[in-house]
Structure 1
Amino acid sequence: MSVPPRSACCWQAGTAACGDAKDNKASAAAPAPKLDTDKLSADEIQKQAKDALATASSVRISGEMNDADGKMTMDLALDTKGQCTGTMSVPGAGKFEIISDGKQSFLKPDTDMWAAVGGPNGAKAAELFKGRYLTGFESDDDFKSFSSVCNLTVLSKQLVEDDDDKSTFTKGSAGTVNGAKTFSLKAKDAKGEESTIHVLVEGKPYPVRIEKSGGKESGQISFGDFDKPLTVQAPPADSVIDFKKFKELQGA
């Protein structure tokens, strides 16, 4: 699935150290594999896309989805080590910034989210903890779902797979997404929801965009920065509060 590396001499000493022109041609990197959209069925292409996403060591996921509860937005970079950074909004619960270094998660809610999760003291919490990150909330039933957004395996699976997993895929057409060559797949489930998945045709067949319409959900989610190393730093200690202080305020 990945591009074979160039020979060791080219990496270590440059192309001049790799011999004559004939040797240079022989040692050149092999072309990226291409998705045979003529030979493969729609289901086979869809499976390759899912499998490719499942093997990604990191990815950036961004976009928005609308349903009966409202609009959800996200812009998250995350990896298989549990690291992530970005923002997400939840219908009826405001917006938050999240940082995870793989060991500890930090959540910075906006005013609307503080009001939604803070109960009678939501407004007070919003003012008291304004601009600060919560940590230590992973075991709380109301908050632990927030830390799960940093789980690349779970989140990508939720976004790519349909709820009933009974969609019928058909081939779409060749196109481009952000300048990259793609091939689209169309799907329609029993509830009438239509989906379009745009898959890269050169290199690993990653899904780079998912569009939904016609059902309970509509919108677009994009995937990018595949396998790009992610470096995350925890926020400064003076901008972090322990979740226990928040719970104490709730009980006040």
Structure 2
Amino acid sequence: MTALPLSDRARRTARRAVRRGVLPVALCAGLATAVTACGGEDPDAGTNGVGRLSATQIEHKAQAAVESASAVRLAGALVTQGETYKLNMRLKKTGGSGSVTSKNSTFELLRVEDALFLKADAGFWSRGTAGAKGGAPSGDTDSEAAHKLDDKYVKVPEDDPAYKQLRGFTDMNVLLDGLLTLNGELAKGDRDKIGGVRAIEVSAAEGKGGSLDVSLEGTPYPLQLERAGGAGTLTLSEWGRDFALAAPAKGQTVDYGSKLPRAKD
């Protein structure tokens, strides 16, 4: 930075400041209108310090935070195998609960350990029971079965083809391990606020490999993920906030049978 000439008055002020031992403060004050700053504000002041790290180090910090987390809320859009799902799930190591919306339907999932339950309205079951291989429960017609299943929990048999896919929406480890991966050379991006929390972005391959916003406050948890190739944007919140998980009462459940209906495309 090129030094600017001082006026006689400014030089006298500086000399007096030297005698008083306050020259840096005096100069900053005297030159404030000519120079933007003498030091500049530290963008990481009051943060957890991860903003000072390299992009790779920030990613490692975020991954370590995820591995140690006991719970999280995950919400947003997820595109997989050409299908878009809107998720709003609360997850922890022993299970999860929340809603999933696809092109044709919305349903709720609840998993407690290995027991997985699905709840949806009659319209969902009406579409699904058409062409079902397992048949309607208790010999009912499709419409009668749909009415009985309306807004009830149905336990998904573990040997049903749908079990693995549906369980994946409730599995914290599966979702986070599969989603929080950036592909390509990492770089630090802008600082922003996600849900009112200060964060710093880490992007891969100039954004083509996805990007992750990591908290600058407290534990460096991931707060938002933009998946590569436009495969969805997800927000992550309520890290470590526990919630109750319990199997639904018998009066809230209906036994469909050995196989769930297969929905038409």
Structure 1 length as normaliser, TM-score?
Answer: 0.71
Counterpart residue number, 1:197: 212
Map 1:175-186 to 2 at 5 A. Answer: 175-186=192-203
Task: State the 1:246 CA deviation.
Answer: 5.7
Instruction: Work out whether 1:36 is the aligned partner of 2:47.
Output: no
CA distance in structure 1 between the partners assigned to 2:165 and 2:83 by the alignment: 18
Picking from 103, 112, 115, the partner of 1:101 is 112
Partner of 2:249 in structure 1? Answer: 236
**Higher strand share goes to which structure?**
1
- For the pair 1:89 / 2:101, whether they are aligned, the reply is yes
The answer to whether the Cα contact below 8 Å between 2:160 and 2:259 also exists between their aligned partners in 1 is no
Q: Say which SS state the counterpart of residue 120 (structure 1) adopts.
A: coil
Alignment partner, residue 146 of structure 2: 126
* Correspondence for 1:76 among 74, 89, 95: 89
CA deviations 1:31-51 (Å, max 9, x no partner) are: x9713322x211111121122
Asked if structure 1 preserves the Cα contact closer than 8 Å seen for 2:72 and 2:92, the reply is yes
1:52 equivalent to 2:65? Answer yes
Whether 1:135 aligns to 2:146 is: no
Give the match's secondary structure for 1:143: helix
CA contact (8 A) 2:156 2:163 kept: no
User: After superposition, what is the alpha-carbon deviation per residue over 1:203-251, rounded to whole angstroms, capped at 9, x for unaligned?
Assistant: 21100111246x252x32011111111112332312211242665x88x
Cα distance, 1:147–1:36 mapped onto 2, change above 3 Å? closer
Deviations along 1:172-229, one digit per CA (max 9) or x if unpaired, are 022211111111111238xx8352211011221100111246x252x32011111111
Structure 2 Cα separation of the partners of residues 154 and 34 of structure 1: 28
**Rg bigger for which structure?**
2
Checking the alignment, whether the CA contact within 8 Å between 2:78 and 2:87 is kept in structure 1 is: no
Runs of 5+ consecutive residues of structure 2 not aligned to the other structure: 1-45, 137-141
1:145 and 2:165 matched: yes
Distance 2:222 2:257 in 1: 41
Question: Unmatched 5+ residue regions in structure 1?
Answer: 1-31
Aligned letter for 1:220?
T
Once the 2 structures are TM-superposed, how far is the Cα of residue 139 of structure 1 from its aligned partner?
2.3
Contact kept? 2:201, 2:211, Cα under 8 Å:
yes
Counterparts of 1:144 and 1:170 in 2: how far apart (Å)? 35
AA aligned opposite 1:80:
K
Q: Secondary structure at the match of 2:50?
A: coil
How far did residue 74 of structure 1 move?
A: 0.4
The percent identity for this pair of structures is: 23
